[in-house]
Chains A and B, each alone.
Chain A
Amino acid sequence: MSIVADTLLESRPDVLTDLDREAIEQGDVRTEEMLVNMGPQHPSTHGVLRIVLRTDGEMVLEAIPHIGYLHRCAEKIGENLAPYQYIPYTDRMDYLAGMNNNLAFALAVERLTGLEVSKRAQIIRVIFAELNRIASHLVSMGAYGLDMGAFTPFLYAFREREYILDLFESACGARLTYSYITIGGVTDDVPERFIDICREFLDYFEPKIAEYNNLLSYNHIFVKRTANVGVISAGDALAYGLTGPCLRGSGVKWDLRKVHPDCGYEEYEFDVPVGRGLKGTMGDCWDRYFVRICEMEQSVRILRQALRRLEGTPGEVRNKAGKTVKLPSDAVYYEIENPRGQLGFYVVGDGSTIPYRVKARGPSFCNLSITNAVVKDCLLADVPAIVGSIDVVMGEVDR
Chain B
Amino acid sequence: MSQFTYPWVQQGERSFRGIAALIAALARGVYRVAAPILRRFPGPVFFAAVIGVCVVVWAYVIVTRFADGIAQSAANTAVVTSMRGALTLAEIQAWRPAATAVWPESMFSGGLGALAYVVWPLQFALVRDLIAMTGIIGFISLVPLYTIWWERKVAGRIQSRLGPMRVGGWHGWAQSPADGLKLICKEDFIPKEGDGPLFRLAPYLAFVPAICAFIALPFAGSYVFRDLDVALLFILSMLGIEVIGVIIAGWASNNKWSVYGAMREACQMVSYEIPMGMALLIPVMTVGSLRLMDLAEYQRGGFAEWLAWRNPWCFIAFFSYYVASLASCKRAPFDLPESESELVAGFHTEYSGFRWSLFFFAEYAAMFAVSGLAVILFLGGWYGPFPQSWAPTGSGVIAAMARGVLFDGPIIFILKGAFLLYVQIWIRWTLPRIRIDQVLYACVQVLLPLTMIVLLGNTIWVLFDRPAYPGFQSLARVISGGLTIIGLVLTLLILGFMAYGYIHRRRLVGWLAIEHLPGS
Contact = CB atoms under 8 A, between A and B. Distances in A.
24 contacts: A36-B256, A148-B433, A149-B341, A149-B433, A150-B433, A155-B159, A155-B161, A159-B160, A159-B513, A162-B516, A163-B516, A201-B512, A204-B511, A219-B431, A221-B431, A224-B434, A224-B435, A225-B432, A225-B433, A380-B260, A381-B336, A381-B342, A381-B436, A384-B341
Interface in A14-69: 34, 36, 42-44, 57-58
Interface string B424-437: 00000111111111
Given A43-B341, A159-B160, A159-B517, A152 B437 contact: no
B97 interface: no
B486 to A, nearest CB: 22
Contact of B434 (A57, A162, A200, A225): A225
Nearest to B264: A58
Contacts of B438: 224-225
A149 B339 contact: yes
A58 B261 CA distance: 11
Contacts of A163: 512, 516
A150 B431 contact: yes
Contacts of B210: none
Nearest to A215: B430
B129 interface: no
Contacts of B160: 155-156, 159
Contacts of A384: 341-342
A216 interface: yes
Interface in B336-368: 336, 339-344
A78 interface: no
Interface string A117-148: 00000000000000000000000000001111
Q: How large is the interface on A (under 10, 10 to 19, 20 to 34, 35 or more residues)?
A: 35 or more
A194 B257 CA distance: 49
A204 B512 contact: yes
A382 B435 contact: yes
B436 A152 contact: no
B432 A150 contact: yes
Given A34-B256, A204-B510, A204-B512, A43 B433 contact: no
Contacts of A263: none
Interface of B: 155, 158-161, 256-257, 260, 263-264, 332-333, 335-336, 339-344, 429-438, 510-513, 516-517
B333 A221 contact: yes
A36 B260 CA distance: 11
Contact of B159 (A57, A151, A219): A151
B432 A43 contact: no
B512 A43 contact: no
Interface in A359-399: 379-384
Contact of A149 (B155, B335, B513): B335
Nearest to B428: A151
Contacts of B511: 204
B342 A151 contact: no
Interface in A210-243: 215-216, 219, 221-222, 224-225
A36 B257 CA distance: 8
Contacts, number: 93
A34 B429 CA distance: 33
B432 A148 contact: yes
Contacts of A155: 159-161
A155 B510 CA distance: 14
A206 interface: no
A204 B512 CA distance: 8
Q: Identify the interface centre among B339, B432, B512: most chain A CB within 10 Å of its CB.
A: B432
A166 interface: yes
Q: Identify the interface centre among A58, A149, A163, A224: most chain B CB within 10 Å of its CB.
A: A149
B341 A148 contact: yes
Given A36-B256, A379-B437, A152 B341 contact: no
Contacts of A215: 430
A57 to B, nearest CB: 8
A36 B159 CA distance: 34
B230 to A, nearest CB: 36
Nearest to B332: A149
- Which 6 A/B pairs are nearest by Cβ-Cβ distance? A149-B433, A155-B159, A148-B432, A150-B432, A44-B341, A381-B435
Contacts of A149: 332-333, 335, 339, 341, 431-433
Contacts of A221: 333, 431-434
Contacts of B436: 58, 379-381
B221 to A, nearest CB: 40
A222 B340 CA distance: 16
Nearest to A53: B256
A71 to B, nearest CB: 24
A153 to B, nearest CB: 9
Nearest to B155: A151
A152 B344 contact: no
Contacts of A152: 158-159, 429-430
Contacts of B344: 42-43
B349 to A, nearest CB: 11
Contacts of B343: 380
Given A34-B256, A44-B341, A221-B432, 19 more contacts: A36-B257, A145-B432, A149-B431, A150-B430, A151-B159, A152-B159, A156-B160, A162-B517, A201-B512, A204-B510, A204-B512, A215-B430, A219-B432, A221-B433, A224-B435, A225-B435, A379-B437, A380-B436, A384-B342
B331 to A, nearest CB: 11
Q: Identify the interface centre among A201, A224, A384: most chain B CB within 10 Å of its CB.
A: A224
A44 B432 contact: no
A38 to B, nearest CB: 9
Nearest to A226: B432
A159 B156 CA distance: 13
Contact of A151 (B339, B429, B435): B429
Contacts of A219: 431-432
Interface string A75-116: 000000000000000000000000000000000000000000
A58 to B, nearest CB: 6
B417 to A, nearest CB: 24
A155 B152 CA distance: 14
B516 A216 contact: no
Nearest to B256: A36
A36 B340 CA distance: 16
A313 B294 CA distance: 81
Q: Identify the interface centre among B341, B343, B436: most chain A CB within 10 Å of its CB.
A: B341
Contacts of A166: 516
A383 B432 CA distance: 15
Nearest to A219: B432
A166 B436 CA distance: 41
Nearest to A224: B438
Contacts of A146: 341
Contacts of A156: 159-160
Contacts of B332: 149
A204 B260 CA distance: 43
A222 B432 contact: yes
A159 B520 CA distance: 12
A215 B430 CA distance: 8
A371 to B, nearest CB: 16
B205 to A, nearest CB: 24
Contact of A216 (B339, B432, B435): B432
A382 to B, nearest CB: 7
A382 B433 CA distance: 12
Contacts of A150: 430-433
A43 B341 CA distance: 6
A147 B341 CA distance: 5
A151 B429 CA distance: 6
Nearest to A155: B159
Nearest to A166: B516
Nearest to B512: A204
Contacts of A216: 432
B356 to A, nearest CB: 17
